[in-house]
Amino acid sequence: MAKNFILILGGIRSGKSRFAQSMAAKLGKKVLFVATAEALDAEMAFRIGEHKKARPKSWRTLEININVGQKLEGQIADADVVLLDCLTLLVSNVIIGDGKSSASVAQKRVVSEIEDLVKCIDKCEGTFIIVSNEVGLGLMPANKLGRLYCDCLGRANQLLARHASEVYFMVSGIPIAIKGEVHQECERG
C-alpha cells in the first residue's frame, strides 16, 4: 500500500499543480510525473508546454490519457513519488471515450478507471499525489454532457478522497488541509 496518498483539489488556477509539484519535490528525489492531457489543439499544446517547463528536468514523465492504473502499474519502478496531474482531464478522456456511450456506461467506465487507479496506488511503495478540480462549487451546467461530467468527476473525487491519507483544498494559491497531516513547508513552495 502507498505509504502516503495525497489528493489535491481546487478550482481552475487555484495553485493545485504548483503546490503538488512543490510537495513532490520535497517528498522524494525520484519523481514520476503522469500527465493525462492531450494536445488536441494549439492552445492546449501551449499549456502542456508551459507545464513541462515548470517541472524539474530530472523528473521522469509518462503521458497516459486513459486506463492509467493499468498502464502505470509496471512503470513506477523506483519512483519515490508518483504525481498524476490531472484527474480532471482523465475523467473527461474516459467520458468522451468512443463518443457513443450512454451516461450510465460512461459513469461505470469512470468508476472502473478510479478503482483500477486505487489498486495501483495500493501497490505503490512511495507517495502518490493526484491533482483534480473541485466542480461542486459552481452552477449546474446547462447541458447534459456538462452535468454528466460534473457528476462523474465529483464521484471520482469522493472515491479518491475516502482512500487518501491527506486531502488539500486550494484557494488562491493557499492550501487548506481538509484531511490528514499538514505539509506547512510546501505552502511556501
The domains of the chain are located at: 4-181
Q: Which amino acid is at 14?
A: S
**Catalytic residue annotation:** 51
Secondary structure tally for the chain: helices H, strands E:
7, 7
* Cell of residue 27, nine digits: 517528498
pLDDT tens, position by position, 106-116: 999 999 999 99
Please give the pLDDT value at position 28.
93
Cα separation, 65 vs 58, in Å, equals 22
Strands 4-10 vs 81-85: parallel, antiparallel or unpaired = unpaired
> In the predicted model, is pLDDT for residue 48 greater than 90?
no
Residue 183 has pLDDT above 90, yes or no: no
For domain 4-181, is the CATH number 3.40.1010.10? no
Calculate helix-pair angle for 103-123, 87-96, nearest 10 degrees: 140
For residue 139, what is the DSSP state?
A: P
